[in-house]
Amino acid sequence: MTALVAACVQLCSGTDRATNYQTTEALIRQAAASGARLIATPEMTNIIQRRPRLLMDELPDPGEELQEAKQFAALAKELNVHLLIGSLAVALDKTPATRRAANRGMLFSPDGALQASYDKLHMFDVDLPGGESWKESAIYQAGAEAVVADIGTAKLGLSICYDLRFPQLYRALAQGGAQIIAVPAAFTKQTGRAHWEVLLRARAIETGAYIIAPAQGGTHEDGRETWGRSMIIDPWGKIIAASDNDQPGIIWASLDLEKVAETRQRIPSLGLEQPFKLTHI
């Protein structure tokens, strides 16, 4: 059996980057001590700040490396793990009239190198019942490239939060060889309660891949509420590890990578697409 122990770190990131790093570091160390060799953190690990001006004030100028990115690289090397920082806010343009940031995932290898990065493709622009409204595209610049990274024992597909609602991305990652797909997230409490579990399980079933989904949870300093309930799901859609709350912590599971090939052999839908045309009647 080819196995990999993976862990999800659940957070309630605030508006201070240094404090967020300290909390995250402690949980990453706990995950590594539990035997995890692949450790993933949620979306916006370094800061959750919904006010664009205050967000930009907290970030270094474009082109300058984030201090926490350096620290996470060193931590991956020290612990000898693959460390996926689900996403960090990265400034691209701090000019007030044109300010832009990236919602960027970073994968650090056990030698401390930045192996891969991924900018969130799909922006969370929604108007929810009860008056809750979000427009990520007002500050964040969408990415344009899907990413599959070779982590030695497996191939890891990268995604972030709202990407979860676009199954074509996950199909492409699986067809590109991904055996594990990461879904770091900061799902709202409202949408998380309704859709988080069912969407994660659907993506696992559709792709025949393991899904690792580290989440933000709780009430954040900027006032938003996120759902938590981090999950690890096997290729058959079975939840094999899960948090039942919004509190910071870790979950982990041993991933039997042979199960990916077995599942895809039983239900070979990734290779059985048929062309079709859409007819309006």
Which residues on adjacent β-strands are paired with residue 2? none
Q: Shortest CA distance to 53 belongs to which of 6, 96, 5?
A: 96
Q: Is residue 237 part of a domain?
A: yes
Q: Is residue 279 part of a domain?
A: no
pTM of the predicted protein model: 0.96
Task: Read off φ and ψ for residue 280, nearest 5 degrees.
Answer: -100, 125
Catalytic residue among 68, 155, 161, 259: 161
* Chain mean position to CA 252: 15
CATH classification of the domain holding 253: 3.60.110.10
Mean pLDDT of the chain: 96
Q: Is residue 221 part of a domain?
A: yes
Q: Is residue 276 part of a domain?
A: no
State residue 134's pLDDT score: 75
* Cβ contact 10:250 at 8 Å: yes
Distance CA 211, CA 194 (A): 19
Q: Residue 94 catalytic?
A: no
Catalytic residue among 12, 43, 136, 155: 43
Cα–Cα distances (Å) from 243 to 36, 107, 216, 222, in that order, read 17, 23, 11, 23
Q: Residue 12 catalytic?
A: no
Provide mean pLDDT across the span 133-162.
Answer: 94
For helices 197-207 and 167-175, the axis angle rounded to 10 degrees is: 30
Q: Residue 135 catalytic?
A: no
Q: Is residue 278 part of a domain?
A: no
Q: Which domain holds residue 148?
A: 3-267
Q: Is residue 253 part of a domain?
A: yes
Q: Is residue 273 part of a domain?
A: no
Total domains present in the chain: 1
Tell me: the pLDDT tens digits for 43-72?
A: 999 999 999 999 999 999 999 999 999 999
Catalytic residue among 12, 68, 120, 136: 120
Tell me: the pLDDT tens digits for 200-238?
A: 999 999 999 999 999 999 999 999 999 999 999 999 999
